[in-house]
C-alpha cells in the first residue's frame, strides 16, 4: 500500500527516512506526525527508529542499507552509531565507512540482492558493501546521471527510475537487477525518484504531491496491491523482464 505524507511541509519523504525490509529509520522532526505515519503502518512488523546522522536530518540520503546491514558515512558521531546499533535488530550489521563520497544514500541504491553504485566509488567501499549488505555490486549510471541512489528506487519486487531513461538502458538495468523496472516520476513530475519516496517489499511512502497516476504506477510496479508482510517469506526472483512502454 502506498501512503502519501509530508515531512514538515516538504514532499521529499525519501530524504528524511530510510525504509528496508528489516527496519525503518526516521528523521527527528518538529512534530510527531511523520513518525506516527510510519509507526501506524509498520509498528507491528519492523522497528521504526528515530535518528540523526552527523547531526543532520537528511538521513535518507546519507545512509544506505538493506535487511542485512546498514552503512553510514564517516562523519556519523559515535553516539548516533551506538544508538543505531542498539535500536536495530541484531542481524543488521551497522558499519561506518570511510568514503570520500559521504552521501551514501545518493551513491548507492540497493535491495536485498543487488546494488547499483556511483561510478567513482572506492574499491574498498565496494568490497565493504558486498560484505556487509550481502549484495552484488554494479557500477552504473541512470539516464546519464551518476547519482544512482537519487534517481532510482527499487525493492525486491520492482523499481522506478528517472523518466528520461532510454528503452535500452531500462532493459540493461532490468537484466542486472532482475526486477521489472519502469521510468516514471514522483511528486507531480519530479525526476528525483529516491528523494520523493521510500519503498520496501510490501509498502511505500510518497510525498503528498504525488498524483494519482504516479501512485498507480508505483503500486503496480512495486506490486503493492496484494502485498502482505507475510508474503515476503517466499521470495521469488522473477526472471521476467517487464516494462511499461
Partner 1 sequence: MASNMFVVPQTRGTVLCCKCGISMAPNPANMCVTCLRSEVDITEGLRKHVTIMHCPECDSYLQPPRTWIKAQLESKELLTFCVKRLETDLKKVRLVNAEFIWTEPHSKRLKVKLKVQKEVLNGAILEQSYVVEYVQQDHMCESCTRIQANPDQWVASVQLRQRVTHRRTFFYLEQLILKHDAAAHAIKIKQMDQGIDFFFANRSHAVKFVEFLGKVSPTKSRHDKQLVSHDPKNNSYNYKYTFSVEISPICREDLICLPPRVATSLGNLGPLVICTKVTNNIALLDPLTLRQCFLDTEQYWRHSFKSLLGSRQLVEYDVFNIEVVSPEYNVGGSKYVIADAEVARVSDYGKLFYIRTHLGHILKPGDRALGYDLYGANSNDIELDKYKGLVLPEAILIKKSYEEKRQKKRGKPRPWKLKSLDMEVDESRGRANEQKMDSEYEEFLRDLEENPELRFNLSLYRNKDYQPSEMVSVSDGDDLPSVPLEELLADLELSEQEDGEDSMRE
46 Cβ contact list (under 8 Å, min separation 6): 21, 22, 23, 24
Q: How far apart, in whole angstroms, are the C-alpha atoms of residue 26 and residue 102?
A: 19
8-33 burial by CB neighbour count: b if 16+ within 10 A, else e?
Answer: eeebbbbbbbbbbbbbbbbbebeeee
Q: Among all chains, which residue has been given the C-alpha cell 505524507?
A: 5
Of the ranges 29-37, 54-62, 128-136, 182-190, which one interacts with partner 1 (CB under 8 A)? 182-190
Residues 145-164, interacting with partner 1 (CB under 8 A): 163-164
Q: Are strands 136-139 and 152-154 parallel, antiparallel or unpaired?
A: unpaired
Residue whose CB is less far from partner 1, 101 or 146: 146
| Spatial separation of the C-alpha atoms in residues 225 and 203, rounded to whole Å | 9
Contacting residue, 58, 169, 195, 203, with partner 1 by CB under 8 A: 169
CB of 18 to partner 1, least distance (A): 25
> Per rule CB under 8 A, is residue 183 in the interface with partner 1?
yes
- Contacting partner 1 within 194-233 (CB under 8 A): 211-214, 216-217
- Minimum separation from the CB atom of position 113 to partner 1 (A): 25
User: Given the rule CB under 8 A, which residues bind partner 1?
Assistant: 163-170, 183-185, 188-191, 211-214, 216-217, 243-245
Amino acid at each position: 500500500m502506498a501512503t502519501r505524507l509530508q515531512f514538515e511541509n516538504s514532499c521529499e519523504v525519501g530524504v528524511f527516512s530510510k525504509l528496508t525490509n528489516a527496519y525503518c529509520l526516521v528523521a527527528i522532526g518538529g512534530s510527531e506526525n511523520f513518525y506516527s505515519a510510519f509507526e501506524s503502518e509498520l509498528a507491528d512488523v519492523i522497528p521504526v527508529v528515530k535518528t540523526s546522522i552527523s547531526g543532520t536530518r537528511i538521513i535518507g540520503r546519507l545512509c544506505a542499507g538493506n535487511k542485512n546491514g546498514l552503512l553510514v558515512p564517516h562523519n556519523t558521531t559515535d553516539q548516533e552509531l551506538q544508538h543505531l546499533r542498539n535500536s536495530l535488530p541484531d542481524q543488521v550489521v551497522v558499519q561506518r565507512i570511510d568514503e570520500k563520497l559521504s552521501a551514501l544514500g545518493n551513491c548507492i541504491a540497493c535491495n536485498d540482492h543487488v546494488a547499483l553504485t556511483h561510478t567513482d566509488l572506492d574499491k574498498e567501499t565496494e568490497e565493504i558493501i558486498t560484505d556487509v549488505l550481502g549484495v552484488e555490486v554494479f557500477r552504473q549510471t541512470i539516464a546519464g546521471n551518476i547519482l544512482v541512489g537519487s534517481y532510482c528506487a527499487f525493492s525486491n519486487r520492482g523499481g522506478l527510475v528517472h523518466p528520461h531513461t532510454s528503452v535500452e538502458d531500462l532493459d540493461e538495468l532490468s537484466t542486472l537487477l532482475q526486477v521489472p523496472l519502469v521510468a516514471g516520476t514522483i511528486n507531480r513530475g519530479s525526476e528525483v525518484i529516491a528523494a520523493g519516496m521510500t519503498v520496501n517489499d510490501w509498502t511505500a511512502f510518497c510525498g503528498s504531491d504525488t498524483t494519482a497516476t504516479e501512485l498507480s504506477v508505483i503500486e503496480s510496479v512495486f506490486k503493492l496491491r496484494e502485498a502482505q508482510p507475510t508474503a515476503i517469506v517466499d521470495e521469488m526472483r522473477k526472471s521476467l523482464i517487464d516494462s511499461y512502454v
